[in-house]
Structure 1
Amino acid sequence: MADAHTPPAAPAEASTPAAPRQQTIALVDDDRNILTTVSIGLQAEGFATRVYTDGEAALKALLENPPDLAIFDIKMPRMDGLHLLKALREKSSLPVIFLTSRDEEPDEALGLAMGADDYITKPFSQRLLVARIRAILRRSDLARTAPEDTSHADLPEPVVRGRLQLDPARHQVTWDGKPVSLTVTEFLILEAMALRPGVVKSRNQLMDAAYSEDVYVDDRTIDSHIKRLRRKFRAVDPEFGAIDTLYGAGYAFTDG
């Protein structure tokens, strides 16, 4: 009987790297022309987009199915962008960019103080908007996009200072083992202080750590972020006092 013939094994196919996950941007504006223009432009840059013309409907959707970043107009009926941000920040640290008109500068400052990550003034260039989006997404390192294996040498190491632990690779913060939810901007401000405990960081140094160089914020914005940081930590520890104010100089983290 003839020997059974085993066909030669087929050559192994070269593995193809997995395509990067498409990032999603949510747009909230009552101006349908702006929604259409910006959405088409972002899709051409490789982003997926979702659009909402109503703040109340957007809030529900943003909480139930979070995108990677959201862009809010300020002046909208029913729920304007500021109220939308305030409601969102009660439950989410989703990165947010405001689109504002030139006559809304007080709203710009208020929006940043409330936890927005950036603002862009109308009329704006699509190129500038995309650059700002990419900068915030690079900074955010959201937990859902971080690699599961944290043993890689190129991943930033967690920062441990006393009862504080920050994990930049997963954008996670704990105090005494209890999670504290921070926005991208709040995280970067805290990280800048915690990396050198006891060293006073001026407001300008904290601005440089938290914002791209073409974003201007004033001292009051940094002060507002510090107040929000203290409030969030005191929600898990009423005795929290690890962020010191040195009047006229800046702020320091002192639990290191």
Structure 2
Amino acid sequence: MVETPRLSALVVDDEPSLVRVVEGFLARDGFDVRTAADGETALALAREAEPDVVVLDLGLPGMDGIEVCRQLRTFSRCYVLMLTARADEVDLLVGLAVGADDYVTKPFSPRALVARIRTLLRRPRTTGGAPEDSGEPAKQVFGDLVIDPPAREVHVGSSLIGLTRTEYELLETLSSRPRVVFTRQQLLDNVWDGTTGAAPGDEHLVDIHIGHLRRKLGDDSRSPRYVLTVRGVGYRMGPG
């Protein structure tokens, strides 16, 4: 009988008592757990151990959680759950914009935290971050919307939707990390890349193409099902 590999977690926080509690609950739930109290150590451990999930405090000393997450996303596809004691919405959204998958505000129930992590691990990790060894990414499904990256096709229900290259790449970028907020500048950097006439900082261009994309998808901007506006920040995909 082949044993199923144990899931691994990295807990990053500078509060030793909190780390001990979270480490204990995760270990009892079957995780192999490593811990770090600062960003530099966390990144080194993430490279070495390749954890399945990182529980990452936003307010770390020195290199904060946002910068740790930004660097982590250059080499890892692990799930990232951000911890924050700051309820300010902008801080939370900025954290998600750099690649965090979810967040929990302090204080929290350790049991609820483990449940959130288990929910994260059930989400498909398809594109973004470090590449998978298995080749082509899987289809992404958001209600009636189906995105097929290998075929570069998009369907809403049974209808094939004709998108321009720019519209498709905007949609593919947003869907690569469901529920993650992308700023307009991030979308400019990812989709235009200086090759299609977009001037640096021309964020209004993103809004125009998002409008075209929504119309083709039949997505009402006043009550969107697929592409959501996060006021003052940018855009994200709705729940899958």
Q: TM-score range by the shorter chain?
A: 0.5 to 0.7
* Pair 1:87-2:50 in alignment: no
* Pair 1:28-2:12 in alignment: yes
- Residue 44 of structure 1 is matched in structure 2 by 28
- C-alpha offsets along residues 35-65 of structure 1, whole Å, 9 cap, x if unaligned? 0000000111111110000111111221233
- C-alpha offsets along residues 4-50 of structure 1, whole Å, 9 cap, x if unaligned? xxxxxxxxxxxxx3221100010000001010000000111111110
Q: Is the 8 A contact 2:21 2:110 kept in 1?
A: no
- C-alpha offsets along residues 213-240 of structure 1, whole Å, 9 cap, x if unaligned? xxxxxxxx6453x8646644656x945x
Amino acid at match of 1:93: R
- C-alpha offsets along residues 168-227 of structure 1, whole Å, 9 cap, x if unaligned? 6xxxxxxxxxxxxxxxxxx778x8544426389xx9xx89x935xxxxxxxxx6453x86
Query: Cα RMSD (Å) of the superposition?
Result: 4.1
Query: Which stretch of the first structure deviates more once superposed, 114-123 or 94-103?
Result: 94-103
* Pair 1:210-2:181 in alignment: no
2: distance between equivalents of 1:94 and 1:45? 18
* Pair 1:245-2:216 in alignment: no
* Pair 1:119-2:103 in alignment: yes
Structure 2: segments with no counterpart, 5+ residues: 149-153, 164-170, 199-205, 218-240
SS across alignment from 1:110: helix
Structure 1: segments with no counterpart, 5+ residues: 1-16, 149-157, 159-164, 169-186, 212-220
Q: CA deviation at 1:136?
A: 1.5
Pick one of 45, 53, 56 that aligns with 1:61: 45
Q: Is the 8 A contact 2:84 2:106 kept in 1?
A: yes
- Mark the structure with the bigger radius of gyration: 1
Q: Is the 8 A contact 1:245 1:251 kept in 2?
A: no
- C-alpha offsets along residues 55-79 of structure 1, whole Å, 9 cap, x if unaligned? 1111122123310010110111111
Name the CA shift for 1:78/1:193 in 2 (closer, same or farther; >3 Å): same
Structure 1 length normalisation: TM-score? 0.58
Amino acid at match of 1:37: V
2: distance between equivalents of 1:140 and 1:27? 22
- Residue 161 of structure 2 is matched in structure 1 by 198
2: distance between equivalents of 1:251 and 1:57? 46
1: distance between equivalents of 2:117 and 2:81? 8
1: distance between equivalents of 2:215 and 2:51? 34
SS across alignment from 2:75: coil
2: distance between equivalents of 1:118 and 1:109? 10
Name the CA shift for 1:147/1:76 in 2 (closer, same or farther; >3 Å): closer
* Pair 1:166-2:137 in alignment: yes
SS across alignment from 1:26: strand
1: distance between equivalents of 2:73 and 2:109? 27
Name the CA shift for 1:90/1:223 in 2 (closer, same or farther; >3 Å): closer
How many positions carry a matched residue from both structures? 186
Amino acid at match of 1:131: A
